[in-house]
Structure 1
Amino acid sequence: MKHGRKLLAPVAGYTPGEQPTDPGVIKLNTNENPYPPSPKVMEALRALDPGALRRYPDPVSARFRAACAARHGLPGPEWVIAGNGMDELLSLVLRTFVDPGDDVLAPYPTYSLYEVLCALHGCRMVSVDLDGDFQLTEAFFKTPARLCFLARPNAPTGVAVPRGAVERLCREFPGIVVIDEAYVDFCDDHCMDFPERFENAIVMRTFSKSFSLAGMRVGVAAARPELINEFMKVKDSYNMNAVSQAVGLAAIEDYGYMRASAERVRATRAWLRAELTALGFNVPESQSNFLLARWAGTPNARGLFEALRGEKNILVRYFPHRMLADALRITVGTDDECAALVRALGEIIG
């Protein structure tokens, strides 16, 4: 590329999951919520003043941040920053706290966007393998870096590191610890109390999964005010548009609706895990809205992925990478969608 930056030359970029245009496809590949957002979200959309589109939005998302702080028991809105999806906040945290050339720590396997963002920023991703149960190893705790990314629950495994291990990490790690809680509303517990307990902890949440707002791009991060102030220096002037602020506020204020939706997903997750296990898959206990189904039979995992896509019109996710090449990542859909998947797998496996 004649005019491109040298830094970008080796960067492939992030590969998102396939977004089909055929409405007949059973889509279990991108961890979206199968249920709609709160009716109050739709009311907020319909009630939006056309003037809100003409004017610039609140540059600091004050009402939305205050509502998030209140919901999560934080001292005030100065403990929260809002973002254009959590992906923006992940990018911001590198721009805010990491210099080019620094090391950034993450377990492997994990959310592949971390490595892409590090490459774009010019810092080095240091990956330490998880153990056979997808838990942190002693080597991970002993690896120094400027910042650490820890997805809890992890993607694409669905496994959640115990809170005690995260507490140890926050106590011993010399830099910033970013606790990525994108899937935490499907989990048994959370770490939203950590910013008050640890000066280096940043907890991030997305509204894409449990709140069913993937199409709106709404995310938040919680940290001590001195860290939030640094974020504010770096973020775009108007990083949250007026529509996203309105629907985000409506969603967080109808928290009970989200909890009911998440519980439906958790119930289906338990059923699907049992069915996949009965088919012969090895499925770690997930704390997320997806399952990692490991397969040692015939056809292999790639073959299953291709047969589901080509013959059954069902999309799941396959990662041709180390520690993952024997597995399918399967989003927990509706009961009917998951039943169709189980039938299809049974037919393919024979």
Structure 2
Amino acid sequence: MNKEARLSRLTRMALGRESSDYLSRDVDELTMVEELKNKYGLENVYRFDVGKNIDGFSPLIQDVLETPELLGLITGSLTEYPENSYQRLRRQLSLHHDIPPEWFVFGAGLESVIDHIARAVLDPGDHVLIPVPNFDVFQSVSFRMGASLTFMEMPGLCWDGNILESLCRKMKEKTYRLVWLSNPVNPTGQFIPQDDIHRLLSHASETRTLVVVDEAYGEYTDRPHAVRSASSLLKSYPNLMVLRTFSKVHCLPSARVGYMAASSERLRQATNTYRPMFPFSWFSLYMAQLAVLDGDYVNEIRRRNQERKKCFFNRIRQQDSGLETFMFLESDTNTLMFRHRDLGADALHGLLAERGFLTANLNRLTGIQNQGFLRMTLHGDAVNEKFLDACRWCGRHLFR
């Protein structure tokens, strides 16, 4: 028997699709970094390609990690299955979002939660609507379920009233099962006003369309004493699912703690159906519980990010910056899309890697294919200046 015949039809379709994301399961990143160091004689390789908080996790977590009692807790937990009701974390997030604790569903990072949602609500042939560019995982999980995808391009890479009207019009013209959004938009970093989310949900309710709002970078647009989230709309819209993670601002990507909030018990039950019994460890849960407690640190990271962006763009806009051939897009998060006027994305990506800066190559991402865009994550001012020096070197490379 042909081995491929043993695979499901949907799996064969998924295997035949080339991912447009900048990350690959097949790349050994640690080896790649060491190879760059050896090949180009680099002392450091800076990860500008991953959108996490470069300042690290909360000092509260650091203090706990340094306590002698933690070793006993860790060794004791290794012999037990982790808790899977998450009651304490539920209560913490309930206070944070001002919604009932039972409205949360947890998973091993947002990618797995997104996959579980797609499995729970999509049938082959269902129509899915995605403004682009957007998080590529939305596209890949929908495709794996056999859905028919409609992409709505954002002119000028900018969310505005026109794209909102277009999405609402599309939902009236055809029956869509699901709309995927990220807010702030990944990868542009633009925050979508809550009024626009409200209007979209109102139209989606009329057409019985489900809406997912992925707020992976949401903490960057929250307020010092208030969450600015679509979770505030859950009581009015049972067709809404809101996602957040501990991988970005909280800088716990290895913990793999992501969550969905939904007022619909049916949606929560359906999504939970695909969740493994123990999606993450006791230690991951403990770290997430500590992270929620340290709101002051999140406020501080938001403040630092604003200062770094201000300094970064001031340097770019200086008359003698030497960066006139580069374009950097404004962002509400810690990541920035950019491109060079003459260098293509692959060439610029490779040249920056030679100088020790790994960036996210977005050249195959739906909605901005072959437009030359890369994405970088802001670091501290000193490292950002080194990055800009590397950009200047790349620009001069054209004339060698």
Regarding TM over 0.5, the answer is yes
Instruction: Flag the structure with higher helix content.
Output: 2
What is aligned with 1:123?
Answer: 147
Alpha-carbon distance in 2 for matches of 1:261, 1:187 = 11
Q: How does 1:144-293 map to 2 (within 5 A)?
A: 144=171, 145-173=176-204, 174-187=208-221, 189-226=228-265, 227-278=267-318, 279-280=323-324, 281-293=326-338
CA contact (8 A) 2:48 2:358 kept: yes
Q: Residue 16 of structure 1 corresponds to which residue in structure 2?
A: 23
Query: How far apart are the structure 1 equivalents of 2:134 and 2:58?
Result: 30
Q: CA deviation at 1:244?
A: 1.2
Deviation at 1:161, TM superposition (A): 2.0
SS of alignment partner, residue 190 of structure 2 = coil
Residue in 2 aligned with 1:37? 57
In the alignment, the residues of structure 2 paired with residue 238 and residue 71 of structure 1 have an alpha-carbon distance, to the nearest angstrom, of 24
Amino acid at match of 2:11: L
Equivalent of residue 101 in structure 1, options 125, 144, 148: 125
Distance apart, 1:308 and its partner CA: 0.8
Letter in 1 for 2:360: R
Instruction: Give 2:81's aligned amino acid.
Output: Y
More moved, 39-48 vs 248-257 = 39-48
Deviation at 1:258, TM superposition (A): 2.2
Name the structure 1 match of 2:225.
Answer: none
Contact 1:89 1:219 in 2 (8 A): yes
Task: Work out whether residues 340 and 348 of structure 2, in 8 Å CA contact, stay in contact via their aligned partners in 1.
Answer: no
How far, CA to CA, are the matches of 1:277 and 1:187 in structure 2?
A: 24
Distance in 2 separating the partners of 1:341 and 1:15: 20
| Matched position secondary structure for 1:282 | strand
- 3-state SS of 2:155 partner: coil
CA distance in 1 between partners of 2:148 and 2:303 (Å) = 38
Q: SS in structure 2 opposite 1:182?
A: coil
* Larger CA deviation: 151-160 vs 190-199: 190-199
- Give yes or no for contact 1:289–1:332 (8 Å, CA) kept in 2: yes
Match of 1:341 among 382, 387, 390: 387
Give the share of equivalent positions with the same residue, in percent.
Answer: 24
Please give the alpha-carbon distance, in whole angstroms, between the structure 2 residues aligned to 1:276 and 1:292: 14
Cα drift, residue 273 of structure 1: 3.1
Q: Where does the alignment leave 5 or more consecutive residues of structure 2 unmatched? A: 35-42, 223-227
TM-score, normalization by structure 1: 0.91
Unaligned runs of 5+ in 1: none
**Which structure has the greater CA radius of gyration?**
2
Please state how far the C-alpha of 1:192 moved relative to its aligned partner. Answer: 2.7
The answer to whether the 8 Å contact 2:220/2:333 transfers is yes
| CA-CA distance at 1:133 after TM superposition | 4.3
Alpha-carbon shift at residue 341 of structure 1 (Å): 0.5
User: What's the CA shift for 1:44?
Assistant: 4.7
TM-score (norm 2): 0.80
Count of matched residue positions in the alignment of Structure 1 and Structure 2: 347
Moved over 4 A (4+): 43-46
- 8 Å contact from structure 2 (residues 362, 374) kept in 1: yes
Q: What is the Cα-based RMSD across aligned positions, in Å?
A: 2.2
